[in-house]
Amino acid sequence: MKTTVAIFRLFAAFALCATSALAEEPDKAAVPALTFHIVSKDEIEGWKRVDLPGHRQHGYISQDADLVLRRLKSVELYKMPAVISDGQQVLEGVSGIKITLQDEDAAAFTAMSRRAVKHQVLVRLGDETLMAPMMMVPITEPVFNLQTSKGEEKELNEALMKLAKP
């Protein structure tokens, strides 16, 4: 009887340790994906209307993203100083985040950018809209920049870094 109680206690202790270890491990599904949606100006059946950043624009996107990135190779903050010519500021300083894709995602990213030429592309992190630039030419390198507004780059960088961790 003592052996049965000892085994039961040992099993209970093991189960408790295993449960607490699982609770400490972060849930990978909780990390939002970086998604890209090619925007249509025309209403398409089954597509949803979205507000786009900028000039109070709206467009329509498919229920499914055109590209979903769950892992990034690297995420880096950058800051370019203002351009001054003849004592006058010609261009304002720009800050943002440089994103490098995993090798296995580069071809899909290039293919998406080719389909998106002459369209806006809505970029989201989870449900948060980051930007919606007009795709003028395909992006053939596995690197792109997200320009940020003043003060928002640190928080966004931290969120994107969760995708860059192995």
Cα→Cα distances 64→22, 29, 35, Å? 31, 17, 9
Q: Which residues contact 37 (CB under 8 A, 6 or more apart)?
A: 50, 61, 62, 65, 66, 121, 122, 124
Q: Which residues contact 96 (CB under 8 A, 6 or more apart)?
A: 77, 78, 145, 146, 147, 148, 153
How far apart are the C-alpha atoms of 37 and 74, rounded to whole Å? Answer: 22
- Which tens digits make up the pLDDT trace of 62-115? 999 999 999 999 999 888 777 777 777 666 777 889 999 999 999 999 999 999
- Judged against a pLDDT cut of 80, whether residue 150 lies above it is answered with no
pLDDT at residue 112, rounded to an integer: 96
For the record, the structure tokens of 39 come out as: 């925007």
- Judged against a pLDDT cut of 60, whether residue 10 lies above it is answered with no
Whether residue 110 contacts residue 138, with contact meaning beta carbons closer than 8 Å, is answered with yes
Identify the structural domains of the chain with CATH numbers, from first to last: 28-164 (3.30.1360.200)
How far apart are the C-alpha atoms of 160 and 75, rounded to whole Å? Answer: 7
How far apart are the C-alpha atoms of 60 and 48, rounded to whole Å? Answer: 5
- Which tens digits make up the pLDDT trace of 120-149? 999 999 989 888 999 999 999 999 988 877
pLDDT at residue 6, rounded to an integer: 37
- Which tens digits make up the pLDDT trace of 31-63? 899 999 999 999 999 999 998 887 668 999 999
